[in-house]
Amino acid sequence: MNDSFGGELRKVRKSKKMTLQDLSDRSGLSISFLSQIERGLRTLTFTSLNKIADALEVDVNFFFGNNNSNVKKQAGQDSIGGETFSYTSLSGDMTHPDFIPAVIELKASESQQVPYRHAGQEFVYVLSGQLEVELDGKKETLCANESIHIDSSIAHHWYNDTNEVTKILLVSSSKH
């Protein structure tokens, strides 16, 4: 796990005058798990990262720094997840965007498969591989060149349950 992410998470949490208990209550993640993330001892899934960002009332791109260009000629690899995923922001320097585009590579066999809900919408397009989607208790499998548009207030989760990398384009609406 990226130590700088853990330090940044701790700094943001403390700047919002939140304890680990507060963050746990808001995110649904355990105190011990959050503490291990802050200390760089654990990796997290993209779902966990989203839960943390929602609880802190920031969008996921906050943790990847600001790229001062509106043009993306070649996507950079800003990986927070380590073994579980890589996240490449496709956002430019727009302040308060209406939507957040990103390319996400989900490594094989993601284990955290707990649906959750949050404000906004998600459009997920499978670039390669296979993606399992659970929406309001119903499961679907998306293959390359298939997509889904989700009202994020409905309990949902998407994950890679294969032995191969799955690459997706995610466009999510700004939640805050």
Tell me: the pLDDT tens digits for 75-110? 444 445 556 788 887 877 777 778 888 899 998 877
Find, among 120, 122, 70, 64, the residue nearest to 95 by Cα: 70
User: What is the phi-psi region of residue 50: left when phi exceeds 0, alpha when psi lies from -120 to 50, beta otherwise?
Assistant: alpha
User: Is the same domain home to 163 and 84?
Assistant: yes
Find the domain containing 27 and state its range.
3-61
Cβ neighbours for 162, distance < 8 A, ≥ 6 positions apart? 108, 109, 129, 130
pTM, entire model:
0.72
User: How deeply is 62 buried, as exposed, middle or buried, from its count of CB atoms within 10 A (0-12, 13-18, 19+)?
Assistant: middle
CATH number (domain holding residue 107): 2.60.120.10
User: Is the same domain home to 12 and 52?
Assistant: yes
User: Is the same domain home to 76 and 153?
Assistant: yes
- The pLDDT profile of the chain, 176 residues, written as one tens digit per residue, is 455 778 888 999 999 999 999 999 999 899 999 999 898 888 787 888 888 988 998 877 777 655 444 444 344 444 455 567 888 878 777 777 788 888 999 988 775 667 888 888 999 999 999 999 999 889 999 999 999 999 989 999 898 989 999 999 999 886 54
CATH number (domain holding residue 21): 1.10.260.40
Q: Which helix (H) or strand (E) holds 45?
A: none
Q: Total domain count for the chain?
A: 2
